[in-house]
């Protein structure tokens, strides 16, 4: 608040600030405040804090106009202090526009609107069907039905080419036009990888929400997992993007009238899904073999069934009982059917 009150005086001393919309400047101060609050929060929790970085002209790639100072008029975006800008409106906006963020990605500019939507219409009740999801690195996810979704590994498949482009950048003279061109080339490369990943996860999450009305998954602390595996697995964990997939499931399930349940990941891989016995195993052991009841299956499949059980337990439901003979029959059927998950 003190910094906001100082803005009028700063505008008098710096004419460049007076050319900007007042709410854009206020939002920049809110970003700084949020960055430092997050920093002190991480310090209190004992995490690696990461002091907020100064964003130079080549790193500050967005600004937000809250409340007012923007509007749409046909195919024009009206921005205060800037004027009308031609845009490509990808979809009709339904609801009240609250904020507008102008963002630059590589050599493209985007207008991102925050919309206050009307209450969603009541969805038609669907037959209850539940699924448990276990996230992993061998397979992106394994379902409690035994189906798996293979890891597309968009980053890993292009890692060598990206390293080649980065070596080319390192040889360019700093401040030169060729260096700026090469930097833009690398930015486009990263954007292409991100777009492929987003497209894949959107399709996958939509298919899961369409097929199942109850979805249970592990509440993973992904950031802590990356810190613990800083050398070996952090790159693969980031490439898997489990967090993005789970966030997509959350909001798409809410829209579709499905229910998402987050469960504690503790002992989901170690516990036998048939008899409940706990048998600790190393991460390298990929098969679950229970010495109590003799159940043998892939550890991720076993974990997905346990996740589903925990999820149903949270809402007062139980997994249908299955006799040992029925379990073996189901396993044999799964082997014969296509094991790879396919979205429509």
Look up 218 and say whether it is catalytic: yes
What are the two backbone dihedrals, phi and then psi, of residue 334, each rounded to the nearest 5 degrees?
Answer: -65, -40
Of 41, 23, 27, 245, the C-alpha closest to 133 is 245
- The span from the CA of 87 to the CA of 138, in Å, is 43
Of 199, 211, 218, 250, which one is the catalytic site residue? 218
Q: Identify the H or E element spanning 109.
A: strand 108-116
Of 163, 127, 169, 133, the C-alpha closest to 149 is 133
Query: Half-sphere exposure of 176 toward its Cβ, with a 13 Å CA cutoff?
Result: 9
Q: In which region does residue 126 sit, left (phi positive, over 0), alpha (psi from -120 to 50) or beta (all else)? A: beta
- The span from the CA of 219 to the CA of 257, in Å, is 21
The tokens for 265 are 């990941």
Look up 300 and say whether it is catalytic: yes
Of 33, 105, 134, 221, which one is the catalytic site residue? 134
From first CA to last CA, the distance across the chain in angstroms is 51
The tokens for 158 are 């292009």
What are the two backbone dihedrals, phi and then psi, of residue 140, each rounded to the nearest 5 degrees?
Answer: -60, -50
CB 260 within 8 A of CB 217: yes
Of 58, 285, 300, 321, which one is the catalytic site residue? 300
Of 57, 56, 39, the C-alpha closest to 47 is 39
Query: Half-sphere exposure of 149 toward its Cβ, with a 13 Å CA cutoff?
Result: 24
| CA torsion through residues 83, 84, 85, 89, sign | positive
Residue numbers annotated as active site: 134, 218, 300
């Amino acid at each position: 608040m003190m910094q906001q009150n100082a803005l009028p005086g700063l505008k008098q001393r710096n004419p460049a600030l007076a050319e900007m919309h007042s709410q854009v400047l206020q939002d920049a101060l809110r970003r700084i405040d949020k960055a430092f609050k997050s920093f002190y929060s991480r310090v209190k929790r004992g995490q690696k804090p990461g002091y907020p970085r100064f964003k130079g002209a080549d790193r500050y790639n967005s600004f937000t106009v809250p409340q007012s100072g923007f509007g749409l008029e046909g195919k024009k975006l009206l921005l205060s202090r800037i004027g009308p800008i031609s845009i490509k409106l990808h979809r009709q906006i339904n609801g009240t526009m609250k904020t507008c963020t102008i963002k630059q990605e590589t050599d493209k500019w985007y207008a991102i609107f925050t919309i206050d939507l009307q209450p969603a219409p009541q969805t038609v009740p669907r037959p209850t069907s539940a699924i448990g999801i276990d996230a992993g690195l061998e397979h992106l996810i394994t379902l409690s039905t035994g189906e798996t979704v293979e890891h597309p590994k968009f980053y890993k498949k292009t890692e060598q080419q990206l390293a080649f482009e980065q070596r080319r950048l390192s040889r360019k003279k700093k401040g030169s036009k060729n260096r700026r061109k090469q930097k833009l080339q690398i930015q486009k490369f990263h954007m292409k990888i991100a777009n492929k990943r987003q497209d894949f996860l959107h399709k996958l999450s939509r298919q899961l929400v369409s097929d199942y009305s109850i979805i249970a998954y592990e509440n993973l602390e992904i950031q802590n997992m990356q810190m613990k595996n800083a050398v070996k697995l952090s790159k693969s964990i980031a490439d898997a993007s489990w967090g993005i997939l789970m966030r997509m499931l959350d909001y798409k399930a809410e829209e579709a009238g499905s229910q998402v349940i987050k469960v504690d990941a503790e002992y989901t891989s170690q516990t036998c899904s048939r008899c409940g016995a706990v048998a600790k195993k190393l991460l390298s052991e990929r098969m679950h073999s229970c010495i109590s009841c003799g159940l043998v299956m892939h550890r991720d499949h076993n974990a997905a069934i346990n996740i589903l059980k925990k999820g149903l337990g949270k809402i007062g439901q139980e997994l249908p009982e299955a006799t040992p003979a029925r379990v073996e029959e189901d396993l044999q059927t799964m082997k014969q059917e296509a094991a790879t998950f396919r979205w429509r």
